[in-house]
Structure 1
Amino acid sequence: MGYKTKVQLIKRLKSEQYYVNFPAALAQAMEFTAGEEVEWLIDDHQRLVLRRSDAAIAALKEKLKTKPT
């Protein structure tokens, strides 16, 4: 299943910035936390890869270990 979104452009006097948002359902399913750092990688001209930091992965694994079943 995919989620469509639009690329947004914010133009300022001396710069431009592009934004891509993803739905809350995806963030919740991935168990992202506010302020978590991620890294964008260019796979090819059709794909961007969003990668978590090693620290975020370790924290998520620890959280899943202690999560009640």
Structure 2
Amino acid sequence: MGFPTKIQLIKRAKSEQWYINFPAAVAQAMEFEKGEVVEWVIEDKKKMILKRSTPDPSADEKKKPQ
């Protein structure tokens, strides 16, 4: 299932900023944390990949059998 999202552009006299907001459901499913650093990887003009810069140690703990 996808989550359609509009891209926002704020133009200023000497610069412009582009924004993409994540729906809360996506952020929660990915278990994003405030201040977390991510990296955009451009695969081609139709696909960008959002990659965590550092591995999430809690993700490994969740995979381990108890």
TM-score (normalizing by structure 1): 0.80
Percent identity, please.
56
In structure 1, runs of 5+ residues without a counterpart are none
Runs of 4+ with deviation above 2 angstroms: 57-65
Q: Which residue of 1 aligns with 2:20?
A: 20
Q: Greater share of helix residues, 1 or 2?
A: 1
User: SS state of the match for residue 27, structure 1?
Assistant: helix
Q: CA RMSD in A?
A: 2.0
In structure 2, runs of 5+ residues without a counterpart are none
**Structure 1 residue 22, shift from structure 2 partner:** 1.4
TM-score (normalizing by structure 2): 0.83
Q: Which residue of 1 aligns with 2:56?
A: 58
Q: Which residue of 1 aligns with 2:10?
A: 10
Q: Which residue of 1 aligns with 2:46?
A: 46
**Structure 1 residue 59, shift from structure 2 partner:** 3.1
For 1:27, give the aligned amino acid. Answer: A
- Would you say 1:37 and 2:37 are equivalent positions? yes
User: SS state of the match for residue 22, structure 2?
Assistant: coil
Separation of aligned partners in 1, 2:56 and 2:28: 17
Q: 1:24 to 1:63 in 2, by over 3 A?
A: farther
**Structure 1 residue 21, shift from structure 2 partner:** 1.0
